[in-house]
Amino acid sequence: MKIGSFSETPEEWNKRPFVSFAQIERFNTSSPQSPNLDYSNIDSYKYEILQTEISEILVKIDKFKDICSSGQSKSFENIINQNKKAEEWYLERETWDLVSRLYALRMKRGISFPDKKSRLSSDEISNQLKNSITDYSKMQKILEIDDFLAEKIVIKKWLEHNAPAISLNEDKKDYWLFTLREAKLNANKKDKDETLVSQLDPDAPSRLQQSLALEDQEYDNLVNKRIFQCIRRGQFEEALNICINNGEPWRAASLSGGAFFSDKSLDTTKGPYDELIYPNKKSKVSGGNVNRALWKHMCFLIATESDKSPYEKAYYAALAGSLDQILPVCNNFEDKFWAEICCVIENRIDSILSKSFNFYESQVSNPPLQKLDQGHISESCYDIFSNLLSDNDSQIKQNALNQFREIQVAIMENNLNEYLEKYSEYLKNGGFQNTNIQFLRFIAHLILVSRDAKQYLDPIVTDTIITYYSQFLIIASLTDIVPVYLSKLPSVISDHLYSNFLSGVDKSIEDRKYFLDLAEESNLDVLSIAKLTTIKILDSFKSEDFDGIDIDEIYVSSINDPITDDELVQIRALEWINFYQRLHTYSLVLVTGLARKFFILGRANAVIALFNSLPTDFVKDSWRFFARILAKSRGPSDSLVRSYDDEISITENSVWEDALKLYYGETESRSVSENSSNEGDEILLQNSNKDALNEDFEVLKWPTLLVTSFFLEFVHLNNLSEGYIALSRFTEHMDNYKNMKEIMLADESWKAAAIENFEISQKVIRKGILESNWLGEWLALKEYDSEQNKQRSLEMGILRQKYIPDCLTALYNILISTKDFIPGNLAASFELVQMVADDSYAIYKELLIKSKRYPNGKIYEFLYKINDSAYGILK
């Protein structure tokens, strides 16, 4: 994934919200990974979800909303771009509220996949209302079966709830006070003002086509605006109170006619959908309006009267569902969207109720009411949104382009999946570098909430978006929360992503372990991640081709030379897997391969640093156990590791898991036999599989021969590194011996230390290397014909050719250099010829290999040394 620069620098990002969202998600264990469900051949998917699960999801969303509210208030503290930031937080909070409301409804109904093809027509719904007598009971039934209407009402309530708060002015209780006074004065004038209303009943201005006094007209306009603002915000009770408090109870009555007719003897006291049916939280109005259709017609007529103020027309139009009279007073995106939704709802209700059977006949005019001209009503939220995108108001068009408003529409239409597909493509096609990071964070959490709520989303698309979000968190140095999101991805993705991040972590070993612990807390597969991290680091270094290497050109470094930066990186790469004892067998192969490579390059100091970096408990007893068996069956007679005399056969084709079961069955049953007479305990331990449970599953399927062969190679390479350490100490101690021989030999403590250093060096070189058939063909596993094994055999051959002669020379030199104070060392140097000639050690084979520098091999150099020893003995 190519990562570019964001439009904002990391220093400008407010990282606290990202952490806050992650903390909520970290403690939420219910978010599943992408569901493996096949939705390709269905149009809808129903499911069941427990009420407790619904509550947990809604609580989680409420916490997200709280973070947004806090972000909105804090953004005002920053003078620069405060309005833009505050708006983004407001829109995000508003969107979370929409998600909460719609998902709550969908979860209760078990709606996951949009079922557009099977959406019921108004006729089909009407046919299901035969057993419903009152309009109230019909509405309960309609909302039960009509997902479309129920969701549109939820959207309307959401728009009302999130409208900006309004300040209500003090009510004026005197009814048209200024008009009354002007009318009295006008009555006594000869030249009367014919434009001033002469009667004060509510219909007088309309009936007489006369005006109120200017002050009363202005106040009436203000009242009408306040009534509209209350209805726009769903504050229906407050709108009625404004009418009553201003001396217009008749207006309150005219607004109240929308209550659906109910009969207490037939209807339940409170239905399940009262919250959707009524504009206030109180229970239904007793009785309701049996002439609701007539009332709506009245509202429509008032809304179309030319002498009414725009706001009065608007709120009556909203009740009637007449769009053209509402839009003139809608000044922003949300107001216009609300107006459209109001009309969609009223039109849908009318189309259903008008076709249903009515037990109670409403008293309508004769002839019947004509169909209301409600204007063009778009039932699709996408169509409404499209209309607003082409609105004449440039600010509304600009608002419609906001990403949060775009996704709000996708959520409303239950078409989030299609939106995310486009967003995913946008990220993949370069948009990631320029994306709104707040919106990216919102999308990632919306995906997780949707999964919680069992809302179907394409797993490939959603995994891609979460992957990009995780990548952003790494870029933003929010690494502590990265595992929270990677745990929501399939392991094949999360393991590689986190290992990519870890492979660049150049910090202390404690910090590295901390990052793995974070991954483990989020239930990531830390063993897989650790392995991938190590492999990626090692693979980043150029593979060495040692075929045809000139052995004589290999220069062996001093053990005191500093290691290079590249060597340190490769050595530290193994830290990731060595944190876990379960991965030590896996690490064994990589450690051995790296040590082999370093030795071929002559970097003895790097090998020593590598072995010193290993945990103290790196070597497992099970390795030793089977290595002794392999050494006994294949190795030299005097092998260093051949000290286990029990006759235990292992098959050449057994896997490591079977070998471990045998090992623990044998060792633990033997232990029980010595410490317990309880037969039940012995059987229990024989059947145990402790090590198999503490071993990497991949390694359990490896051949036993592979594990044991690599361990023996590990031992041999470690012996060589210990040999160089011992030789270095010996050489350092013997420094200036030739120039100060008599003085040093007179110093008993020096001589004792010299003898000790000699014995250590001789033991490691003779027993650990020369007499162990060091890296001999018996370790090559020729039965496995693979490129990796061929390369390994080649490299082991190179090491034998280089280091067997070197170690033989070193052993000869330390024997000769100590002959003055260790009796028998001169003779021992001569006797090396017997060791060289022994077929089981195969040392002579390496001395016979010819090269440019040694066209006859190194055998003659060795024989010259033997001649010198013989001459010294004779002398």
Q: Specify the pLDDT at position 777.
A: 86
**Which tens digit of pLDDT belongs to each residue from 671-718?**
544 444 445 444 333 444 444 457 999 999 999 999 999 999 999 999
Which of 44-53, 377-386, 389-398, 605-614 is most confident?
A: 605-614
Which class for 754: exposed (0-12), middle (13-18), buried (19 or more C-beta within 10 A)? buried
Which one is predicted more confidently, 670 or 807? 807
Q: What is the pLDDT of residues 243-274, one digit of tens each?
A: 888 888 888 999 999 988 888 777 766 777 77
Mean pLDDT over the full length of the chain:
84
Name the token pair of 342.
Answer: 């109001």
**Short-list 280, 278, 205, CA closest to 239:** 280
What is the length of the chain? 875
Buried b (16+ CB within 10 A) or exposed e, 834-861: ebbebeebbbbbbbebeeeebeebbbee
CA–CA–CA angle 121, 123, 126 (5° rounding) = 110
Tokens 């009242």 locate to: 223
Amino acid symbol at 56: E
Q: How many CB atoms are closer than 10 A to CB 181?
A: 13
- CA pair distance 114, 455, nearest whole angstrom: 10
d(CA 675, CA 56): 54
- Read off the tokens for 114: 């949009």
CA-based nearest residue to 18, from 470, 406, 560: 470
Q: Is 368 a residue whose pLDDT tops 70?
A: no
Averaged pLDDT, 654-660: 87
Instruction: Mean pLDDT check: name the lowest of 380-384, 423-427, 543-547, 771-775.
Output: 543-547
Whether 43 shows a pLDDT value over 60: the answer reads no
pLDDT at position 12 over 60: no
- In this predicted structure, what is the pLDDT of residue 637? 47
Tokens of 588: 């064994």
- Reported confidence tier of residue 29, pLDDT bands at 50, 70, 90: low
- Evaluate whether 607 touches 598 at the Cβ level (below 8 Å): yes
pLDDT at 210: 57
Residue recorded with tokens 């040999």? 723
pLDDT at 31 over 70: no
- The answer to whether 836 touches 863, Cβ cutoff 8 Å, is no
Other beta carbons within 10 angstroms of residue 395's beta carbon come to 11
Q: What is the mean pLDDT of residues 509-533?
A: 96
Residue 215's pLDDT band, with cuts at 50, 70 and 90, is low
pTM of structure: 0.83
Please list, in sequence order, all residues whose beta carbon lies within 8 angstroms of the beta carbon of residue 2, skipping any fewer than 6 positions away: none
Q: In the prediction, which pLDDT does 683 show?
A: 39
**For residues 750 and 742, what is the distance between their CA atoms, to the nearest angstrom?**
12
The predicted structure's pLDDT at residue 199? 64
Look up residue 435 and give its DSSP letter. Answer: S
pLDDT exceeds 60 at position 646? no
Which residues lie below 8 Å from residue 494, measured CB to CB, with a gap of 6+?
Answer: 486, 487, 524, 525
Nearest to 835 by CA among 827, 826, 844: 844
Lookup: tokens for 321: 């569902």
Domains and CATH numbers, the chain: 10-114+391-489 (no CATH), 135-176+213-379 (1.10.3450.20), 704-874 (1.20.190.50)
- pLDDT at res. 186: 59
DSSP 765: I
User: Residue 710 and residue 591: Cα distance in Å, rounded?
Assistant: 10
pLDDT at 430: 86
- The pLDDT score that the predictor gives to residue 478 is 93
Mean pLDDT of 610-639: 83
Query: What integer is the mean pLDDT of 318-333?
Result: 94
Q: What is the pLDDT of residue 434?
A: 85
- 3-state helix, strand, coil split of the chain in percent (to 5) is 65, 0, 35
